[in-house]
A and B are shown apart, each in its own frame.
Chain A
Amino acid sequence: MTNVAVGLSKDLPNGRVMRAIVGEQDLVVWRSKSGVLSAWDNRCPHRGMRLSHGFVRGEALACVYHGWHYDKTATCRYIPAHPELEPPETIKAQRFSSTEKGGLIWVSIEEQSTEPSIPDNLKAIRSISFACPMMALKQVIRDLDFTLVKDDNSGWVIQEKSDDQWMMKSIKANISLHLFFQNLSEQTCKIHALANSDCAPDTMKKMSQALEHIRRLAEKHYEVVVS
């Protein structure tokens, strides 16, 4: 599994918090006010509250339940109920390795992780969730037969670069759409989509709409299979 793409960098500005799932691991992914990215077990060691409900104060993430502050090493530095006391260094959330490359946020929950492979200079389009298994979604994309841009009758070429990374290319329209798959559960998955960097807002909208189209097809296809 090594590094898994969990979101687009642009969707997590400084000072914000999000939740991500990698395998069985529930994660809080957050960015400090100065931009430092972290990914931890999504659980405050105090009372088990999901840290993804928390808030960023400067370079610390605070739990929304009792306001315990954790610094970028995931060590608790401040307990508001005892403002004068320095918390023992043993109070820590569990950390995982996170990195950013090519406009994506990557998390690894394994000890060893390899550098994610992604072309530079891509333009982030969007992350989109699907209520169908990843296999069903991939099948629908393989069978796609539609044109994204007017006057482009050439259709799409699909390149399966790896299990998690595909590229859809329209030679004639000079567009490439890079799809990064994230499995969430047996019934749900996500795609994080990026395009070639010279893509204009109108084309970005068409790509976003194409992803909606793919979702309608995939979920409908899956419903038929299930019933």
Chain B
Amino acid sequence: MNALDHAKQYWYPVAILDSIPTYPDVKNTRLLGMDITITRQKDGALSVAHNEENWLINEVYDHLWTSPSKTPKPIFDVPEAQERDRRFVPCGVVRVRCSPLRAVENFLDIAHFPFVHTDILGSEPHTEVAPYSVDIDDDKDEVIATKVKFFQPQAAKSASDGIITDYVYRVPSPMNAILYKTCPTRDDVQDVIAIFVQPIDEETCDVWPWMALYDDDSTMAEMIEFQQLIFLQDRSILENQVPTKLPLDPKMEIPTRADLTSIAYRRWLKRRGALYGALLNTTDNPKGTSNSVAAE
């Protein structure tokens, strides 16, 4: 199975349900290199079409999802989406000129917080990444990182002082990732933040951040703005990684112990053949060769 055929088996977000234009306006976008049109019919029913062929749709997690496959893999479960006392916050979409896989990998990374999200999610000298655990959950076929801890000066909109924040990361499908983090206002629950990635093509993606929070104080505008601010800081990085695609050859980039989640994610992608947006061999990009592997 080639990379594109593999990618076609999944569901992808293409719109926020509340912001799909009313009939007869349509929304045009792209998915996996294919033009698609999103239409809200007169009766309110939604449809997604490519070359006049209707694709399957799914309305879940505040977004409209679609798949080019007639028999897509089931969409991943976010149980917290059923907890009605959470506030659900779709944050819009941001276009990034990078591989969809690079966007997901960056979302799984904490070591960049002091340098990219300075004084918000991290700050010097609190740069150390303590050991944490990464597993591949064979039942769910997910990458899971647990016991991740990091010092954060302002962990969320509702946080005022620095705290050690705990994280759990889940990668339930190649282009979606979810994190669970310490809720700054309550000890008994965790906030949920996700990125859903719409692959425009192998080197361009639209990223839809989504949150399910316990936050009674912040306005919707404040919560959305906070997440957009964080993601726009990441965008400056993502558009300047070379090569644009995610290299899966361990010789191409040098991970350390802090990158365990990334290492597991790359191996998991390679093993399942999820290669859309990936570089398999250094020979694909001889310029990108590096000289050693530090800590593999």
- Using a CB–CB cutoff of 8 Å, the interface residues on chain A facing chain B are 24, 26, 42-43, 45-50, 53, 64-67, 79-84, 87-88, 90-92, 94
Across the A-B interface, the 6 shortest Cβ-Cβ residue pairs: A80-B127, A90-B292, A81-B258, A81-B111, A81-B129, A45-B290
Q: Which residues of B contact A24 (CB under 8 A)?
A: 287
Distance A57 CA – B211 CA, assembled complex (angstroms): 37
- Using a CB–CB cutoff of 8 Å, the interface residues on chain B facing chain A are 111-112, 114-116, 124-125, 127-129, 236-237, 240-243, 247, 252-258, 287-288, 290-292, 294-295
Q: Are the C-beta atoms of A45 and B253 separated by less than 8 Å?
A: yes
Known A65-B112, A90-B292; contact A49-B237, beta-carbon cutoff 8 A: yes
Beyond A48-B253, A80-B115, A94-B291, 18 extra complex contacts between A and B, CB < 8 Å: A45-B290, A46-B253, A46-B254, A49-B237, A49-B241, A53-B240, A64-B116, A65-B115, A65-B237, A81-B256, A81-B257, A82-B258, A83-B125, A84-B128, A87-B294, A90-B294, A91-B292, A92-B291
Q: Which residues of A contact B288 (CB under 8 A)?
A: 43, 48
Residue on B with the closest CB to A49? B241
Q: Which residues of A contact B255 (CB under 8 A)?
A: 46
Distance A135 CA – B242 CA, assembled complex (angstroms): 30
CB distance from A185 to the nearest CB of B (A): 16
Q: Which residues of B contact A49 (CB under 8 A)?
A: 237, 240-242
Q: Which residues of B contact A88 (CB under 8 A)?
A: 292, 294-295
Q: Which residues of A contact B294 (CB under 8 A)?
A: 87-88, 90-91
Contact partner of B253 (CB less than 8 A), chosen from A47, A50, A87, is A47
Q: Which residues of A contact B241 (CB under 8 A)?
A: 47-50
Q: Are the C-beta atoms of B291 and A66 separated by less than 8 Å?
A: no
CB distance from A50 to the nearest CB of B (A): 4
Q: Which residues of A contact B295 (CB under 8 A)?
A: 88
Contact partner of A67 (CB less than 8 A), chosen from B127, B237, B292, is B127
Distance A79 CA – B127 CA, assembled complex (angstroms): 9
Residue on B with the closest CB to A94? B291
Q: Are the C-beta atoms of B114 and A80 separated by less than 8 Å?
A: yes
CB distance from A133 to the nearest CB of B (A): 24
30 A-B pairs within 8 Å (CB atoms) are namely A24-B287, A26-B242, A45-B290, A46-B253, A46-B254, A46-B255, A46-B256, A48-B243, A48-B247, A48-B253, A48-B288, A49-B237, A49-B241, A50-B241, A53-B240, A64-B116, A65-B116, A66-B111, A66-B115, A67-B114, A67-B127, A79-B256, A80-B128, A81-B128, A81-B258, A82-B128, A83-B127, A88-B292, A90-B294, A91-B292
Q: Are the C-beta atoms of B114 and A83 separated by less than 8 Å?
A: no
Residue on B with the closest CB to A42? B242
Distance A174 CA – B137 CA, assembled complex (angstroms): 78
Contact partner of B115 (CB less than 8 A), chosen from A43, A50, A67, is A67
Residue on A with the closest CB to B243? A48
Residue on A with the closest CB to B257? A82
Distance A83 CA – B130 CA, assembled complex (angstroms): 11
Distance A43 CA – B287 CA, assembled complex (angstroms): 10
CB distance from A223 to the nearest CB of B (A): 27
